[in-house]
Structure 1
Amino acid sequence: MISWKGRQKDLYFLKVRIRQKVVAMEEHFRDTIRQKIVDSQARAYPSFTRRDTRIPAVAGKAVAVIGMRRAGKTTLLWQLMQESEESGTGREEMLYFSFEDERLVGMRATDLQLVVEEYYRLHPRLRDNRKVLFCFDEIQVVEGWDAFARRILDSESCRVFLSGSSAKMLSREVGTSMRGRALEATLYPFSFREYLRHRSLEPREEPARWTKRDRSAIRHELEEYLVYGGFPESLGVRGRDRMELLKSYVDVTLLRDVIERHEVSNPTALRRMVRHLLANPAGSFSVNRFHNDLKSQGITAGRESVYDYLGFLEDAFLLRTVPISTTSERRRMVNPRKAYPIDMGLIGPYDRSGKANTGHALETCVYLELCRRGYEVAYVRTGEGYEVDFHATDPEGNEMLIQVCAAAADSKTLAREVRALGKAAEEHPRAELLLITMEPPAGKGLSGKVKTVQAEEWLLEELPWR
């Protein structure tokens, strides 16, 4: 039988061994962190295509780069560092640190301070003397990262950028965990301008100075862009490989950012919803109708669950939904929403019609560009039943009614689109009326209030608030 003193002795030695392990682990982390800092600061900037993402600039706030997986968030952090260096910031005053490293497994929130300590051990003259730039990638793998980020914003002279692919770095999560100390920079797949830049085809001249050859080349690239989309890694990949790659993006997002995060109990219904929404871009989506369709197919899912699934998919940046334009909250709730994938490239792998889907792909493209430009977007359905694709309000409060039509050269098609704009204008008299098309009508043939613009020209506009 073990005596009380024997137990005390065993407990003492157990504590000693635990303490030794903690110290050894801390030294291991220190060594790893120090080496990662040295390697990061010696590393040449990776080659990348410059992004036009708007980055908030408010003193005392971290910036969380958010968006769907594989959109290029890590690359954007390197771009921010390079731009800072070009503006006069020394390389030693910046740190890119990724926590997605098997050597850091087991790291706790208290260990995050080691990154700061080791950085300033290497650069002691910078502490409280220069404002340094910390870019923390995949920091969400360490539980308690948010408290650490808030603390160093208060205690160190630094700017902080955060990024990660986990659900914990999504918009709602960041807003909650950072308690008002972080602003968001939403990164989408390549815009059309970024797509052209990636292919070294970005036009240097304004549209008025494009030659016929320029126009033909840009039109061809737009047609390709509407099919293949803007996920950086997928460009240049064709055929079955591209389809499988894009489907893998969707599958990983569903598994990690939706099913695991929210403990979804009916993944069959969720996956059925995703296939339906991605195969029907720009389509009207009614929760009640979809819920009834599931029931008719013998799939059990509560109506509230379907509402939840739609919200989960938006949180994960897999798609976006657009409400009807109205001041009535009840009308907004009871009317269907229009759903758009986060990239046109996601349409093809799920569309089984076998037909070209240029019109809906173009509408999706225009919607995503409005989001990039910071517009608030809704769709319009008039009392007479006419529908306009978008009622968009820019950051300065200006309104636009936008109709997207792949081919407006046909007189009947043109008349239908213009009539809908005219009716919607009666409800939104301050709005500019815009028809975006790939095939404009011959001659002027439009109401004086309706402006028509070719899709490629509109997509390549430069705006002051971007």
Structure 2
Amino acid sequence: MYELYLTHVKGNADKITYIAIDEAQEIEGWERFVRGLEEKCKAKIIVTGSSAKLLSSEYTTLLSGRHVEVRVFPLSFDEALKFKGIEFDSELQLAKNLDRIKKELVEMLNYGGFPDVVLHPEVRSELIHSYFDTVIVKDVVNRYNLRREEKIRNLAKFYISSSASRITYNSVSKFLKIPVKTVERYSEYLEKAFLIFFTRNYSQSPKAVENSPRKVYVIDNGFLKFFSTWSLGRAFETLIAQHVMRYANRRLFEVFYWYSQNAEVDIIIKNDKGSLLPIQVTYELNEENRKREIDSIKKFSKYGKTRPLIITFDQEGEVEGIKIIPAYKFLLKTFEILDSMLV
């Protein structure tokens, strides 16, 4: 096909050619073909796939130094609004469409950001269940040749129902009656398949970080709606954490949580300069939780000067020097806000 293109279509030798190969992981030896193609032609090659198998280490080793990896998450909040034609780029547009924007935020809290789920709400239950089955069967069971599919399904559903919670492999092992080593191995499979992701307890000791309980999050809120008992607080924190992880992945920053002596900060971002940004996530800051949320941030300040942030559903302002941002603003300007605070 490429030779025919060069002979009959291209014409201008200086013109850049783009070659797109979709679902490449379905063809054995695709990576050798791509490398050979890259060596013999002046073209930009885009390899795409919906399976975590595309990121296998054997592929990246063969293509080392020749590729840039881009991980495509479910839609972010601003992308979901653009999909629905809702304008928000200017302050006037934001004010004009604010009621609809908040309504769409509630939709994403409930049903997540998979493109077809956003665009076709009438079949979102079927879509979410189909995506879950695809991840479990195609990206985990078949890829790793597992014999007991029900075990990985039970573990996946447990993690989904535990989103925004701290867990240990030992506690999961006892609850599900699965050996600890199996829990550890299966957890790695689910993370590599991008169904879940983990954060660890922040410490200045690498050993303490490694040995700390993990905090688990599901990659999309749609799974929370259909595979767990839905909780507004967990759904809200999970949505914020997904956008923070998208930011950290792009910037190559680290994400933690912090827990010590009944004080907890939900999210800690550490940039490449060692700067720390503590973020508390609470749907509403009120008399009941205000002292707890603020005191935890103050206790974390022992690690150095920080510029803390509290994210709520729609409150905005400042309390004791801590900035409060409504979720819709944070989600629409995640990169801009976090870049300005992580200096």
**TM-score (normalised: structure 2):** 0.89
The correspondence of residues 163-178 of structure 1 with structure 2, limited to 5 A, is 163-170=48-55, 172=57, 174-178=59-63
Report whether the alignment pairs 1:122 with 2:22.
Answer: no
The CA deviation at 1:172 is: 4.1
Hey, what's the Cα distance between the residues in 1 that align with 2:83 and 2:255? 28
The CA deviation at 1:398 is: 4.2
**Alpha carbons 1:130, 1:157 under 8 Å: kept:** no
The CA deviation at 1:392 is: 0.6
Deviation digits for residues 112-133 of structure 1, max 9, x if unmatched? xxx3222213235345x33311
The CA deviation at 1:412 is: 2.4
Structure 1 pair 227–200 and aligned structure 2 pair: CA distance change class (3 A) = same
Structure 1 pair 174–407 and aligned structure 2 pair: CA distance change class (3 A) = farther
Report whether the alignment pairs 1:447 with 2:320.
Answer: yes
**Alpha carbons 2:314, 2:328 under 8 Å: kept:** no
Structure 1 pair 171–358 and aligned structure 2 pair: CA distance change class (3 A) = farther
Structure 1 pair 172–377 and aligned structure 2 pair: CA distance change class (3 A) = farther
Q: Which letter maps to 2:297?
A: L
Corresponding residue for residue 175 of structure 2: 293
Work out which of the residue numbers 196, 199, 202 in structure 1 matches 2:84: 199
The correspondence of residues 73-152 of structure 1 with structure 2, limited to 5 A, is 115-123=1-9, 125-127=11-13, 129-152=14-37
- CA radius of gyration, larger in: 1
Work out which of the residue numbers 156, 160, 163 in structure 2 matches 1:281: 163
> How many percent identity over aligned positions?
29
Corresponding residue for residue 293 of structure 2: 417
Structure 1 pair 463–238 and aligned structure 2 pair: CA distance change class (3 A) = closer
Report whether the alignment pairs 1:226 with 2:226.
Answer: no
Deviation digits for residues 180-213 of structure 1, max 9, x if unmatched? 3222111111100011111111313138x843x5
SS at match of 1:183: coil
Hey, what's the Cα distance between the residues in 1 that align with 2:104 and 2:302? 37
Work out which of the residue numbers 300, 305, 310 in structure 2 matches 1:435: 310
Hey, what's the Cα distance between the residues in 2 that align with 1:217 and 1:124? 47
Hey, what's the Cα distance between the residues in 1 that align with 2:57 and 2:196? 15
Q: Which letter maps to 1:376?
A: E
Hey, what's the Cα distance between the residues in 2 that align with 1:396 and 1:126? 46
The CA deviation at 1:385 is: 3.2
Q: Which letter maps to 1:368?
A: Q
Structure 1 pair 314–174 and aligned structure 2 pair: CA distance change class (3 A) = farther
The correspondence of residues 202-213 of structure 1 with structure 2, limited to 5 A, is 202-206=87-91, 210-211=94-95
Hey, what's the Cα distance between the residues in 1 that align with 2:8 and 2:271? 46
Corresponding residue for residue 118 of structure 2: 235
Corresponding residue for residue 406 of structure 1: 283
The CA deviation at 1:157 is: 0.8
Hey, what's the Cα distance between the residues in 2 that align with 1:167 and 1:217? 35
SS at match of 2:64: coil
Corresponding residue for residue 328 of structure 2: 456
**Alpha carbons 1:138, 1:163 under 8 Å: kept:** yes
The CA deviation at 1:142 is: 2.2
Hey, what's the Cα distance between the residues in 1 that align with 2:12 and 2:213? 55
Report whether the alignment pairs 1:391 with 2:273.
Answer: no
Hey, what's the Cα distance between the residues in 2 that align with 1:311 and 1:302? 14
**Alpha carbons 2:200, 2:215 under 8 Å: kept:** yes
Hey, what's the Cα distance between the residues in 2 that align with 1:194 and 1:452? 23
The CA deviation at 1:376 is: 1.9
The CA deviation at 1:253 is: 1.1
Corresponding residue for residue 74 of structure 1: none
**Alpha carbons 2:20, 2:46 under 8 Å: kept:** yes
Hey, what's the Cα distance between the residues in 2 that align with 1:431 and 1:280? 29
Pick which of 139-148 and 450-459 moved more: 139-148
Deviation digits for residues 93-145 of structure 1, max 9, x if unmatched? xxxxxxxxxxxxxxxxxxxxxx3222213235345x33311111112222211
Work out which of the residue numbers 363, 369, 372 in structure 1 matches 2:237: 363
Structure 1 pair 193–159 and aligned structure 2 pair: CA distance change class (3 A) = same
Hey, what's the Cα distance between the residues in 1 that align with 2:176 and 2:10? 62
What stretches of structure 2 of length at least 5 have no aligned partner? Answer: none
Corresponding residue for residue 146 of structure 2: 264
Structure 1 pair 122–398 and aligned structure 2 pair: CA distance change class (3 A) = farther
SS at match of 1:184: coil
The CA deviation at 1:238 is: 4.0
**TM-score (normalised: structure 1):** 0.67
**Alpha carbons 1:258, 1:312 under 8 Å: kept:** yes
Deviation digits for residues 58-116 of structure 1, max 9, x if unmatched? xxxxxxxxxxxxxxxxxxxxxxxxxxxxxxxxxxxxxxxxxxxxxxxxxxxxxxxxx32
The CA deviation at 1:397 is: 5.5
Q: Which letter maps to 2:208?
A: R
Report whether the alignment pairs 1:380 with 2:262.
Answer: no
Structure 1 pair 268–134 and aligned structure 2 pair: CA distance change class (3 A) = same
Structure 1 pair 430–152 and aligned structure 2 pair: CA distance change class (3 A) = farther
RMSD value, Cα: 2.3
**Alpha carbons 1:171, 1:315 under 8 Å: kept:** no
Hey, what's the Cα distance between the residues in 1 that align with 2:104 and 2:125? 19
Corresponding residue for residue 110 of structure 1: none
Hey, what's the Cα distance between the residues in 1 that align with 2:223 and 2:42? 42
SS at match of 1:347: helix
Hey, what's the Cα distance between the residues in 1 that align with 2:314 and 2:58? 43
Corresponding residue for residue 133 of structure 2: 251
SS at match of 2:313: strand
What stretches of structure 1 of length at least 5 have no aligned partner? Answer: 1-114, 296-300
**Alpha carbons 2:247, 2:334 under 8 Å: kept:** no
